Amino acid sequence: MSHKKALCLVLPVACLISCTASSQSRPGLLPVAPPTFSRVEVDAALDAGVDLRKFDPTPGLHTVPLSDTWSTPEQAKVIKKQIDEQRSRGYYLAENHAVPDLRAAVRAAASQRGYIPRHDRTFHSLTEIQNDILVKPIHLGTSALSSASLLEVRLGGNYLEGKWTGLSRTFEVADLGLVILEERDHAASKDSVTVVQEWVNTDVNGQQASMRTARSTSGRTLVSVSWENHRKLYSLELQPLRIEAGEANQARLLEIARKLVDS
Protein backbone atom coordinates (compact mmCIF):
# COMPACT_ATOMS: atom_id res chain seq x y z
CA MET A 1 0.00 0.00 0.00
CA SER A 2 3.00 2.32 -0.23
CA HIS A 3 1.99 5.01 -2.70
CA LYS A 4 5.35 6.83 -2.79
CA LYS A 5 3.81 10.20 -2.04
CA ALA A 6 5.12 13.16 -0.09
CA LEU A 7 3.08 14.16 2.91
CA CYS A 8 2.97 17.81 3.89
CA LEU A 9 1.09 18.52 7.08
CA VAL A 10 0.66 21.47 9.41
CA LEU A 11 -0.11 19.84 12.76
CA PRO A 12 -2.79 22.00 14.40
CA VAL A 13 -1.63 21.54 17.98
CA ALA A 14 2.02 20.83 17.51
CA CYS A 15 2.97 23.95 15.55
CA LEU A 16 4.88 21.65 13.23
CA ILE A 17 5.23 21.10 9.53
CA SER A 18 6.14 17.51 8.68
CA CYS A 19 7.14 15.98 5.34
CA THR A 20 8.07 12.55 4.15
CA ALA A 21 8.95 11.37 0.68
CA SER A 22 7.67 7.79 0.93
CA SER A 23 4.43 7.19 2.77
CA GLN A 24 0.70 6.77 2.57
CA SER A 25 -1.11 9.51 4.40
CA ARG A 26 -3.68 8.83 7.07
CA PRO A 27 -7.18 9.88 5.97
CA GLY A 28 -7.76 13.54 6.76
CA LEU A 29 -4.18 14.60 6.10
CA LEU A 30 -3.06 16.43 2.98
CA PRO A 31 -1.19 14.27 0.44
CA VAL A 32 0.76 16.05 -2.28
CA ALA A 33 3.19 15.05 -5.01
CA PRO A 34 6.91 14.35 -4.46
CA PRO A 35 9.22 17.28 -3.65
CA THR A 36 9.36 18.51 -7.27
CA PHE A 37 6.13 20.46 -7.14
CA SER A 38 4.19 21.70 -10.14
CA ARG A 39 3.02 25.27 -10.48
CA VAL A 40 -0.56 24.16 -9.86
CA GLU A 41 0.46 22.40 -6.62
CA VAL A 42 2.50 25.38 -5.45
CA ASP A 43 -0.40 27.74 -6.12
CA ALA A 44 -2.91 25.45 -4.38
CA ALA A 45 -0.66 25.20 -1.32
CA LEU A 46 -0.18 28.98 -1.28
CA ASP A 47 -3.96 29.37 -1.09
CA ALA A 48 -3.85 27.13 2.01
CA GLY A 49 -1.12 29.27 3.61
CA VAL A 50 1.83 26.95 2.82
CA ASP A 51 4.75 28.02 0.62
CA LEU A 52 6.15 24.81 -0.89
CA ARG A 53 9.01 26.74 -2.44
CA LYS A 54 10.55 26.84 1.05
CA PHE A 55 10.38 23.04 1.41
CA ASP A 56 13.29 21.46 3.30
CA PRO A 57 13.26 17.65 2.84
CA THR A 58 16.14 16.97 5.26
CA PRO A 59 14.96 14.31 7.76
CA GLY A 60 14.92 15.23 11.43
CA LEU A 61 13.90 18.17 13.61
CA HIS A 62 14.40 21.76 12.51
CA THR A 63 13.60 24.54 14.99
CA VAL A 64 13.45 27.79 13.03
CA PRO A 65 11.94 31.28 13.36
CA LEU A 66 8.45 31.74 11.98
CA SER A 67 9.91 33.76 9.12
CA ASP A 68 11.84 30.66 7.94
CA THR A 69 8.91 28.24 7.99
CA TRP A 70 6.70 27.31 5.05
CA SER A 71 4.05 29.83 6.04
CA THR A 72 3.08 32.45 3.52
CA PRO A 73 3.39 36.07 4.74
CA GLU A 74 -0.37 36.18 5.29
CA GLN A 75 -0.40 32.93 7.26
CA ALA A 76 2.64 34.04 9.25
CA LYS A 77 0.68 37.11 10.38
CA VAL A 78 -2.13 34.85 11.61
CA ILE A 79 0.30 32.62 13.50
CA LYS A 80 2.15 35.61 15.01
CA LYS A 81 -1.17 37.01 16.25
CA GLN A 82 -1.95 33.66 17.88
CA ILE A 83 1.46 33.56 19.55
CA ASP A 84 1.10 37.13 20.84
CA GLU A 85 -2.39 36.47 22.22
CA GLN A 86 -1.24 33.25 23.89
CA ARG A 87 1.58 35.10 25.60
CA SER A 88 -0.52 38.07 26.71
CA ARG A 89 -3.72 36.40 27.93
CA GLY A 90 -3.10 32.65 28.00
CA TYR A 91 -5.23 31.78 24.95
CA TYR A 92 -5.89 32.95 21.41
CA LEU A 93 -9.12 33.47 19.53
CA ALA A 94 -9.95 31.23 16.59
CA GLU A 95 -12.80 30.71 14.16
CA ASN A 96 -15.44 28.19 15.19
CA HIS A 97 -14.38 25.68 12.52
CA ALA A 98 -10.77 25.82 13.75
CA VAL A 99 -11.66 24.49 17.24
CA PRO A 100 -13.03 20.93 16.85
CA ASP A 101 -15.69 19.39 19.05
CA LEU A 102 -13.81 16.30 20.24
CA ARG A 103 -16.79 14.77 22.02
CA ALA A 104 -18.94 15.03 18.90
CA ALA A 105 -16.20 13.28 16.92
CA VAL A 106 -16.06 10.42 19.43
CA ARG A 107 -19.84 10.04 19.36
CA ALA A 108 -19.87 10.04 15.56
CA ALA A 109 -17.18 7.34 15.42
CA ALA A 110 -19.06 5.17 17.91
CA SER A 111 -22.26 5.34 15.86
CA GLN A 112 -20.74 4.39 12.49
CA ARG A 113 -22.31 1.42 10.74
CA GLY A 114 -21.38 -0.76 7.78
CA TYR A 115 -17.95 -1.52 6.38
CA ILE A 116 -15.16 0.75 7.60
CA PRO A 117 -11.52 0.33 6.43
CA ARG A 118 -9.27 -0.79 9.25
CA HIS A 119 -7.21 2.41 9.21
CA ASP A 120 -10.42 4.42 9.77
CA ARG A 121 -11.84 2.27 12.56
CA THR A 122 -11.84 2.97 16.26
CA PHE A 123 -10.64 0.27 18.67
CA HIS A 124 -11.08 -0.35 22.37
CA SER A 125 -7.51 -1.23 23.35
CA LEU A 126 -3.89 -1.24 22.21
CA THR A 127 -4.02 -5.03 22.11
CA GLU A 128 -6.34 -4.89 19.10
CA ILE A 129 -3.82 -2.95 17.02
CA GLN A 130 -0.50 -4.28 18.33
CA ASN A 131 0.22 -5.98 14.99
CA ASP A 132 -0.72 -2.85 13.01
CA ILE A 133 1.72 -0.34 14.48
CA LEU A 134 5.39 0.35 14.00
CA VAL A 135 5.48 3.00 16.72
CA LYS A 136 6.09 1.84 20.30
CA PRO A 137 3.32 3.39 22.44
CA ILE A 138 4.45 5.66 25.23
CA HIS A 139 3.68 4.32 28.72
CA LEU A 140 1.08 6.22 30.74
CA GLY A 141 3.18 6.03 33.90
CA THR A 142 1.57 7.65 36.93
CA SER A 143 -0.21 10.29 34.85
CA ALA A 144 -3.94 10.93 35.17
CA LEU A 145 -4.41 8.92 31.96
CA SER A 146 -3.38 5.71 33.71
CA SER A 147 -6.60 5.69 35.75
CA ALA A 148 -8.83 7.37 33.14
CA SER A 149 -11.44 5.67 30.96
CA LEU A 150 -10.06 4.75 27.52
CA LEU A 151 -12.75 5.67 24.98
CA GLU A 152 -11.06 4.79 21.69
CA VAL A 153 -7.79 3.98 19.93
CA ARG A 154 -6.98 4.93 16.34
CA LEU A 155 -4.21 4.20 13.87
CA GLY A 156 -2.27 7.15 12.46
CA GLY A 157 0.95 8.48 11.00
CA ASN A 158 2.34 6.94 7.82
CA TYR A 159 1.91 3.44 6.39
CA LEU A 160 5.29 1.69 6.07
CA GLU A 161 5.95 -1.98 5.34
CA GLY A 162 2.45 -2.98 6.39
CA LYS A 163 2.39 -1.01 9.64
CA TRP A 164 1.43 2.47 10.83
CA THR A 165 3.93 4.87 12.40
CA GLY A 166 1.44 6.58 14.68
CA LEU A 167 -1.59 6.16 16.91
CA SER A 168 -3.93 8.12 19.11
CA ARG A 169 -5.76 7.27 22.31
CA THR A 170 -8.79 9.15 23.65
CA PHE A 171 -9.51 9.25 27.39
CA GLU A 172 -12.16 10.65 29.71
CA VAL A 173 -10.32 12.17 32.67
CA ALA A 174 -12.50 12.81 35.70
CA ASP A 175 -12.75 16.48 36.71
CA LEU A 176 -10.71 17.53 33.67
CA GLY A 177 -12.33 16.52 30.38
CA LEU A 178 -11.67 14.65 27.16
CA VAL A 179 -7.97 14.10 26.42
CA ILE A 180 -6.40 12.79 23.21
CA LEU A 181 -2.83 11.49 23.32
CA GLU A 182 -1.26 11.26 19.88
CA GLU A 183 2.20 10.02 18.95
CA ARG A 184 4.08 9.46 15.73
CA ASP A 185 7.46 7.93 14.88
CA HIS A 186 8.86 10.59 12.55
CA ALA A 187 12.29 8.92 12.37
CA ALA A 188 10.87 5.67 10.97
CA SER A 189 9.39 7.46 7.97
CA LYS A 190 12.30 9.91 7.68
CA ASP A 191 10.10 12.96 8.12
CA SER A 192 11.41 16.48 8.03
CA VAL A 193 9.79 18.26 10.99
CA THR A 194 9.85 22.03 11.31
CA VAL A 195 9.16 23.53 14.74
CA VAL A 196 8.18 27.20 14.95
CA GLN A 197 10.68 28.70 17.36
CA GLU A 198 8.34 31.39 18.67
CA TRP A 199 5.79 28.74 19.68
CA VAL A 200 8.27 27.02 22.03
CA ASN A 201 7.06 28.26 25.43
CA THR A 202 7.59 25.35 27.86
CA ASP A 203 9.29 21.95 28.13
CA VAL A 204 8.39 18.32 28.73
CA ASN A 205 11.14 16.58 30.66
CA GLY A 206 13.84 18.63 28.99
CA GLN A 207 12.32 18.52 25.49
CA GLN A 208 11.15 21.79 23.95
CA ALA A 209 7.36 22.04 23.91
CA SER A 210 4.47 24.26 22.84
CA MET A 211 1.50 25.00 25.09
CA ARG A 212 -1.56 26.51 23.43
CA THR A 213 -5.19 27.26 24.22
CA ALA A 214 -7.51 28.03 21.32
CA ARG A 215 -10.92 29.52 22.06
CA SER A 216 -13.56 29.85 19.37
CA THR A 217 -15.92 32.78 19.01
CA SER A 218 -18.66 30.53 20.42
CA GLY A 219 -16.55 29.71 23.47
CA ARG A 220 -15.46 26.17 22.62
CA THR A 221 -11.96 25.60 23.96
CA LEU A 222 -9.09 23.30 23.03
CA VAL A 223 -5.97 23.14 25.19
CA SER A 224 -2.92 21.43 23.74
CA VAL A 225 0.70 20.69 24.46
CA SER A 226 3.08 19.21 21.90
CA TRP A 227 6.70 18.14 22.07
CA GLU A 228 9.20 16.10 20.12
CA ASN A 229 12.46 14.22 20.39
CA HIS A 230 14.89 12.65 17.93
CA ARG A 231 12.45 9.79 17.35
CA LYS A 232 8.84 10.78 17.94
CA LEU A 233 6.28 13.57 17.90
CA TYR A 234 3.77 13.81 20.74
CA SER A 235 0.70 15.87 21.45
CA LEU A 236 -2.01 16.06 24.08
CA GLU A 237 -5.33 17.76 23.34
CA LEU A 238 -7.85 18.62 26.03
CA GLN A 239 -11.49 19.65 25.66
CA PRO A 240 -11.93 20.84 29.24
CA LEU A 241 -15.01 20.53 31.41
CA ARG A 242 -14.32 23.99 32.84
CA ILE A 243 -13.32 26.39 30.10
CA GLU A 244 -12.88 29.23 32.57
CA ALA A 245 -10.04 27.37 34.34
CA GLY A 246 -7.49 28.41 31.74
CA GLU A 247 -4.21 28.25 33.65
CA ALA A 248 -5.31 25.24 35.69
CA ASN A 249 -6.24 23.29 32.55
CA GLN A 250 -2.87 24.05 30.99
CA ALA A 251 -1.04 23.10 34.18
CA ARG A 252 -2.83 19.76 34.47
CA LEU A 253 -2.25 18.88 30.82
CA LEU A 254 1.45 19.69 31.19
CA GLU A 255 1.58 17.53 34.33
CA ILE A 256 0.15 14.60 32.35
CA ALA A 257 2.77 15.10 29.63
CA ARG A 258 5.61 15.13 32.12
CA LYS A 259 4.45 11.92 33.82
CA LEU A 260 4.32 9.87 30.62
CA VAL A 261 7.22 7.42 30.34
CA ASP A 262 9.01 7.13 27.00
CA SER A 263 10.98 3.90 26.62
Which one-letter DSSP state was computed for residue 134? S
pLDDT value for 36: 67
d(CA 84, CA 199): 10
d(CA 51, CA 122): 34
The whole-number mean pLDDT for each consecutive block of 10 residues of the chain, a chain of 263 residues, reads 32 37 30 58 86 83 91 93 97 94 94 91 96 96 98 96 96 98 95 93 97 94 96 97 94 98 86
Give yes or no for a contact between 58 and 30, defined as CB atoms under 8 angstroms apart: no
* Distance from chain centroid for Cα 204: 16
Name the residue among 70, 5, 51, 4 with its Cα closest to residue 31. Answer: 5
For 90-110, how does the pLDDT look when each residue is reduced to its tens digit (9 = 90+)? 999 999 999 999 999 999 999
pLDDT value for 15: 39
For 178-222, how does the pLDDT look when each residue is reduced to its tens digit (9 = 90+)? 999 999 999 999 998 889 999 999 999 999 999 999 999 898 999
Name the residue among 234, 211, 257 with its Cα closest to residue 92. Answer: 211
Tell me the whole-structure pTM to 2 decimals. Answer: 0.85
Give yes or no for a contact between 50 and 74, defined as CB atoms under 8 angstroms apart: no
Strands (E), the chain: 5-11, 16-23, 31-32, 60-64, 92-94, 149-160, 163-173, 177-185, 192-196, 202-204, 207-216, 221-228, 232-240
